[in-house]
């Protein structure tokens, strides 16, 4: 599903990421960890096709996304669900309108889609607050609304960049739980960049750990926790 | 999504943008209104001066007074010669009696002036108009040389033949001043309006940068992001054009009785209401097209400058 082949990204003479290679199959939940400046966000931006690698290939379903033409990028991004630490909801639209936006830009406005929106809002326990504006919600509620928007998109891949960064531990676990449900129910691939050791510790998914732009480790369940604590 | 749904959505978004910053919207519309108000007046003025010039160029102008001893044959020959001349139109022979009637009508307010005058006082004449005033001087010189002709004169509005070149020159100069001056002021106003539009749409884009980023991230097409800004620019320019035209229309309606009275028989503006409405309708159509062009260009330039997607 996602494949990095010797990918490097350079800004001037500095490498944001250097010679990164890994592969994530469909339906896997992967944590991307590392300290600030380790290259997590660069990696997410590469996957979003927001930037291009200086060298190497980023392959999604076997296609090098660098070869995407400008007009193909919106359609490509509609296959991705993106969640950020700073929420990214339109402040002048209600929760419902924000979620609906995902279907509008995709050209889907049937009554079936309306049902999907309601179902997604129900799934994140936000149906009752769907007529409220983002400023009227708590951080956890806003992030749940973002997840509802992502779920309505029915993405093949969810990219989450510190989605729990502004949330308390309990809410953070709820948010990650929603992402896990997406993996289980829809075989969605999730790549979640995080600093949150508790969550990584608790969920025991595959961890790709970055240090100074390089893959320091790509472990299976649990090993990260030990190293993180030492 | 069907095109109509895209359009409705985009129109709603554009309307939301406008409602959210009413003072910026008002500024843009007012500047556009001023531009198109001045444009309406300048176009009407250009039309009027052109009509005025055409009137002088084509109305009966030359009166060739015949000698009292001119023979019928001489008169007929000259009349036929003028009728076949491509520079001339509307040749008519005015008898002494008809000349007397014209004089009586002209002095109707003071009957004493015509009471004791006999038709013999008035010479018969050949009256004709000239298709283009530039031919006037040459033609007058030719006619003056004819044996049957005593004197050649012009209609009262133009004065004597000596004044003709000056009158034509002055009218042409005024007409050119209005056209060139009008075009220059209009260009200046259009450029200012375009810049105001550009700045306001640019401000809109800057203030919505976060929203644009979110839309890009979730896969909105450039068209989905751009169209509301284009529609916003089109709204400002067309609303301004419509308001400016309405104000110009009212100003023309207000001034037309006074102008008609001042210019008397000269059709400075169309005299009947349908013709006047047709003229203003054509101006409105032209201005709306110009407004659409201006709005689209302003928005597109602003997007090229501020919206990197």
CATH 3.40.50.300 residue ranges in chain A?
A: 1-79+158-178+191-223
pLDDT for A227 equals 45
- Nearest Cα of chain A lies from the Cα of B296 at a distance, in angstroms, of 22
Mean pLDDT along residues A160-170 = 82
pLDDT for A30 equals 92
pLDDT for B309 equals 66
d(CA B13, CA B16): 5
Q: In this complex, is the C-beta atom of A105 within 8 Å of any C-beta atom belonging to chain B? A: yes
pLDDT for B1 equals 45
Residue among A188, A222, A185, A192 at smallest CA distance from A205: A222
Concatenated DSSP letters for A51-111?
S--SEEEEEETTEEGGG--GGGHHHHHTTEEEEETT----TTS-HHHHHHHHHHHTT--SH
More confident residue, B171 or A118: A118
Share of chain A above pLDDT 90, in %: 33
Mean pLDDT along residues A200-220 = 85
CB contact under 8 A, A74 and B213: no
Contacting residues of A for B5, CB less than 8 Å apart: 109
Q: Which of A78, A88, A89 sits opposite B219 (nearest CB)?
A: A78
Residue among B269, B78, B266, B47 at smallest CA distance from B156: B266
Phi, psi angle pair for A210, to nearest 5° = -105, 140
Enumerate residues 150 to 169 of chain A having a beta carbon within 8 A of any beta carbon in chain B. Answer: 153
Contacting residues of B for A78, CB less than 8 Å apart: 218-219
Mean pLDDT along residues A191-214 = 87
Enumerate residues 18 to 77 of chain A having a beta carbon within 8 A of any beta carbon in chain B. Answer: 48, 74-77
- DSSP letter (8 states) at residue B127: E
CB contact under 8 A, B218 and A89: no
d(CA A98, CA B219): 14
- For the domain covering A1-79+158-178+191-223, report its CATH number: 3.40.50.300
d(CA B137, CA A224): 105
Q: Which of B20, B210, B224 sits opposite A105 (nearest CB)?
A: B224
- What sign for the dihedral angle of Cα B10, B15, B20, B24? positive
Which residue stretches of A133-218 are H helix?
139-153, 169-186, 197-203
Report pLDDT digits (tens) over A120-164: 888 888 889 999 999 999 888 888 899 889 888 888 899 998 888
Report pLDDT digits (tens) over A24-62: 998 899 999 988 888 999 999 999 999 999 999 999 998
CB contact under 8 A, B218 and A104: no
A12 pLDDT exceeds 90?
A: no
Q: Which residue of A has its CA nearest to B20?
A: A92
CB contact under 8 A, B16 and A92: yes
Say if residue B49 is exposed, middle or buried (CB neighbours under 10 Å; 0-12, 13-18, 19+): buried
Q: Which residue of B has its CA nearest to A48?
A: B217
pLDDT for B161 equals 52
Predicted TM-score (pTM) of the model is 0.69
Contacting residues of B for A76, CB less than 8 Å apart: 219
**How confident is the prediction for chain A on average, in pLDDT?**
86
Two structure tokens written together for A134:
């983002």
A181 pLDDT exceeds 90?
A: no
Cα torsion B27, B33, B36, B41 to 10°: value is: -130
Longest CA span, chain A: 53
Q: Which of A48, A101, A109 sits opposite B5 (nearest CB)?
A: A109
A83 pLDDT exceeds 70?
A: yes
Q: In this complex, is the C-beta atom of A149 within 8 Å of any C-beta atom belonging to chain B? A: yes
Share of chain A above pLDDT 70, in %: 94
10-residue mean pLDDT profile of chain B (309 residues): values are: 60 82 87 91 84 68 86 90 88 87 77 72 85 78 88 62 64 78 84 87 86 87 88 92 94 83 72 82 94 91 80
Longest CA span, chain B: 99
ipTM of the complex: 0.81
């Amino acid at each position: 599903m996602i494949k990095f082949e010797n990918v490097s990204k350079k800004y001037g003479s500095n490498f944001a990421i250097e010679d990164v290679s890994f592969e994530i199959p469909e339906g896997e939940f992967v944590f991307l960890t590392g300290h600030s400046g380790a290259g997590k966000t660069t990696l997410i931006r590469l996957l979003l096709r927001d930037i291009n690698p200086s060298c190497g290939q980023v392959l999604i379903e076997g296609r090098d996304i660098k070869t995407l033409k400008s007009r193909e990028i919106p359609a490509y991004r509609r296959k991705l669900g993106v969640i950020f630490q700073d929420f990214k909801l339109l402040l002048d639209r209600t929760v419902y309108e924000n979620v609906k936006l995902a279907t509008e830009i995709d050209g889907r406005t049937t009554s079936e889609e309306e049902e999907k929106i309601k179902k997604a809002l129900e799934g994140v326990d936000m149906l009752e607050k769907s007529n409220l504006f983002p400023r009227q919600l708590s951080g956890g509620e806003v992030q749940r609304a973002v997840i509802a928007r992502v779920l309505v998109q029915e993405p093949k891949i969810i990219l989450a960049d510190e989605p729990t960064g502004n949330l308390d531990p309990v809410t953070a676990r709820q948010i990650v739980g929603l992402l896990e449900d997406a993996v289980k129910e829809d075989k969605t691939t999730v790549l979640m960049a995080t600093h949150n050791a508790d969550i990584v510790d608790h969920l025991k998914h595959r961890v790709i750990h970055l240090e100074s732009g390089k893959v320091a480790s790509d472990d299976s369940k649990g090993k990260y926790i030990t190293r993180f604590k030492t | 999504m069907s095109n109509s749904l895209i359009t409705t959505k985009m129109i709603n978004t554009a309307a939301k943008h406008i409602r959210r910053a009413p003072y910026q919207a008002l500024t843009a519309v007012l500047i556009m209104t001023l531009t198109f108000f001045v444009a309406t007046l300048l176009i009407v003025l250009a039309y009027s001066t052109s009509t005025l010039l055409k009137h002088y160029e084509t109305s009966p102008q030359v009166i060739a007074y015949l000698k009292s001893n001119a023979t019928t044959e001489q008169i007929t020959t000259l009349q036929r010669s003028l009728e076949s001349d491509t520079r001339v139109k509307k040749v008519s022979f005015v008898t002494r009696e008809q000349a007397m009637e014209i004089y009586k009508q002209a002095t109707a307010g003071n009957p004493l002036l015509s009471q004791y005058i006999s038709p013999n006082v008035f010479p018969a004449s050949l009256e004709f108009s000239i298709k283009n005033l530039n031919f006037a001087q040459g033609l007058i010189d030719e006619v003056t040389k004819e044996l049957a002709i005593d004197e050649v004169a012009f209609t009262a509005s133009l004065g004597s033949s000596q004044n003709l070149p000056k009158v034509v020159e002055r009218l042409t100069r005024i007409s050119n001043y209005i056209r060139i001056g009008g075009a220059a002021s209009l260009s200046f106003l259009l450029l200012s309006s375009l810049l105001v539009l550009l700045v306001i749409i640019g401000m809109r884009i800057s203030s919505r940068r976060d929203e644009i980023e979110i839309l890009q991230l979730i896969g909105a097409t450039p068209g989905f992001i751009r169209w509301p800004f284009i529609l916003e620019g089109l709204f400002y320019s067309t609303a301004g054009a419509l308001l400016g035209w309405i104000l110009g229309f009212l100003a023309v309606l207000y001034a037309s009785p006074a102008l008609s009275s001042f210019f008397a028989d000269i059709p400075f503006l169309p005299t009947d209401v349908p013709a006047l409405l047709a003229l203003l309708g054509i101006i409105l159509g032209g201005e709306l097209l110009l407004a659409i062009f201006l709005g689209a260009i302003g928005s597109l330039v602003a997007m090229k400058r501020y919206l990197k997607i």
